[in-house]
Structure formats: C-alpha cells, structure tokens
Amino acid sequence: MAHAQKTSTPPAAASPETRRIVTGNRLRDGVPVYFAGDGRWSSVVAEARHVAAAEADALLAEAQAGVPPHPVVAPYLIEAVLRDHHPHPLSLREEIRAFGPTVQAAPAL
C-alpha cells in the first residue's frame, strides 16, 4: 500500500494554531509538491514552509513568483497542523494527495 498515513480518523478542525502551506502539482509530471521556501519545492509535505494565517498571502505570492516556466501548476494555500513540528495537511483530500492513494495502486497480478 502506497499510503503511509491512516486517514480513517476525522481530520482535526481548524484552530488559531492551524498553519498554512502552499501546494500545487509539478508541471512536468503532476506530482503534488509543497513550497519549501527560497524557490524550492519538495514532494515531502513535512518539508513545506508553514506560516500563520496572517502571513499566508505573502507565502503564496512568494511561491507564485518567478519567471516562466513556473515548475508548479496553479499553487494554492492549504491548512495544516503541526505533528512533531512538521506540517501535516488538515483536510482528508489534502492528506490523500500527500500520502495516498489509500488503496493498493496496482492489481496483484
């Protein structure tokens, strides 16, 4: 199973401690990636740069900056919570994007 994180528990509700991170799909292959700051994008969500809600727009603007071709399709903000000091997506959809699919991705034979 490709999925590394159980998603059967209800997601945590947003709270003042909820962080914001920027994600999108990598242009050349569609892989979900996360803005890690300094122009760098990572396929590991734990490496995403995370900010408070008040700083989210600035983070998104920084992630969107640069001359074409931008390496990521349509970056957008998502909510995250910190687990062991690392961001973890709040919504089920984003959790599955980061760690899924939750089913075995190929027939056994």
Partner 1 sequence: MYRYDEFDRRFLEERVAQYRDQVRRRLAGQLSEDEFRLLRLMNGLYLQLHAYMLRIAIPYGTLSPEKLRRLARIARRYDRGYGHFTTRQNIQFNWIKLEETPDILAELAEIEMHSIQTSGNCIRNTTADPFAGVAADEIEDPRPYCEIIRQWSTLHPEFSFLPRKFKIAVSGAAEDRAAVRVHDIGLYIRRNEAGEVGFEVLVGGGLGRTPIIGKTIRPFLPEAQLLPYLEAILRVYNAFGRRDNLYKSRIKILVQALGIEKMRDAVETEFAAMSESPLTLPDETIAAIAAHFAPPAYDAPAAEDEAVLGLALATTPALARWVERNTAPHRAPGHAIVTVSLKPPGRPPGDCSATQMELLAELAETYSHGEIRVTYEQNLVLPHVRRSDLPELWRRLGEAGLATANAGLASDIIACPGLDYCSLANARSIPIAERLSRHLAARDHEIGKLHIKISGCINACGHHHVGHIGILGVDKNGVEFYQITVGGSANENAALGAIIGPAVPSAEVTRAIDALIEVYLRLRRQGELFPETCRRVGLAPFKEALYAPA
Pick from 21, 32, 56, 60: which binds partner 1 (CB under 8 A)?
32
Is 97 a binding residue for partner 1 by CB under 8 A? The answer is yes
Is 68 a binding residue for partner 1 by CB under 8 A? The answer is yes
In sequence order, what are the beta bridge partners of 102?
Answer: none
Is 16 a binding residue for partner 1 by CB under 8 A? The answer is no
How many residues belong to the site for partner 1 (CB under 8 A)? Answer: 33
Selection from 61, 70, 57 nearest residue 25 by Cα:
70
Of the CA atoms within 13 Å of residue 21, those in its CB half-sphere come to 31
Is 73 a binding residue for partner 1 by CB under 8 A? The answer is yes
Is 1 a binding residue for partner 1 by CB under 8 A? The answer is no
Separation of alpha carbons 14 and 91, rounded Å: 9
**60 in Cβ contact with 104 (< 8 Å):** no
Is 96 a binding residue for partner 1 by CB under 8 A? The answer is yes
Selection from 43, 50, 7, 2 nearest residue 25 by Cα:
43
Token reading at 65: 């900056």
Of the pair 24, 87, the CB lying nearest partner 1 is at 24
CB of 64 to partner 1, least distance (A): 12
Q: Applying CB under 8 A, which residues contact partner 1?
A: 8, 10-11, 13, 25, 27-32, 67-70, 73-74, 90-93, 96-97, 100-109
